[in-house]
Amino acid sequence: MIPPITGLRFGYIKPNIPPVQSYSRPLYEANPNLTLRAVPPSGQRPFDWLFAHRGTSQLGAHTLTVIEDKGGKEYVHLLVTERPTLGGKRTLELPAGLVGDEDSDETILQAACRETTKETGLTVDKMAMLTQAVFAESPGSSTQLRALAYIHAKGSPHGQDRDPDEKAFIVGHLNVPLGTFTGRQKFIDWMETMSRDHGYLISSDILEARALMPKSTGKRKRLFRRQPKPLAPEGTLSAKNRKSMRPTKGNQL
């Protein structure tokens, strides 16, 4: 039985979603980790509602990754992917991975750090959550959810060594000057140029992260200071942090 997504993960409350077995039945199992399921007809809907469900983890950590080079210049690091679901069309995405698919006690930020390192080859310097909100990736066709993190890394924005396992769908990377992301019109112009002139699709997680990213350097630095203290090696919060993050009626989702 797949447990609902609930409780504290680095101090952030997750929505209490009922197990898929309680409201749907499996139709086809593509592999042990991915199932096509159906919700029976109900009310004015005379047909089954089909959706995809990932059994290992419903929650993904998507990371806005900013690189600072030796000269102090900053870039947003994006992945260039070719996924079978889009017919091999090249897509720009944030580094991302499932939370808890390898370790059930893994936190969102731990997953963000792990996947960013695997997919970009960069060394993480600092990390923070962009928001406490959790987003539904495609609520009509999938149970997948995502949380948005922010990572600051140091090093050259070119020539990073990625994990060989990630090369199956990651075909390159793109470094965008941070100023392009912080300026609204510059960001719109960049998106339209990449889409119209270069033929890229753009993942919606980029838009969400850009909307939530603090636009000034000072506010981005304060974002790191507002986070809970680092986790202990075993993945537990300190007693003080646990008490300060106890759910209340005002912050439950």
CATH of the domain at 221: 3.90.79.10
Count CA atoms closer than 13 A to 207's CA, side-chain side: 9
* Residue 123 falls inside a structural domain: yes
pLDDT digits (tens, 9 = 90+) for 206-220: 999 999 999 888 888
* Residue 152 falls inside a structural domain: yes
What's the confidence (pLDDT) of residue 241? Answer: 41
What's the confidence (pLDDT) of residue 138? Answer: 93
Which residues does residue 124 pair with via DSSP β-bridges, in sequence order?
A: 153
What's the confidence (pLDDT) of residue 139? Answer: 92
What's the confidence (pLDDT) of residue 33? Answer: 84
* Residue 212 falls inside a structural domain: yes
* Residue 156 falls inside a structural domain: yes
What's the confidence (pLDDT) of residue 121? Answer: 87
* Residue 122 falls inside a structural domain: yes
* Residue 14 falls inside a structural domain: no
pLDDT digits (tens, 9 = 90+) for 128-137: 999 888 899 9
Could you give the number of structural domains in the chain? 1
What's the confidence (pLDDT) of residue 9? Answer: 46
* Residue 25 falls inside a structural domain: no
Which parts of the chain have pLDDT scores under 70? 1-16, 156-167, 226-253
Q: Domain of 94?
A: 58-228+238-244
* Residue 153 falls inside a structural domain: yes
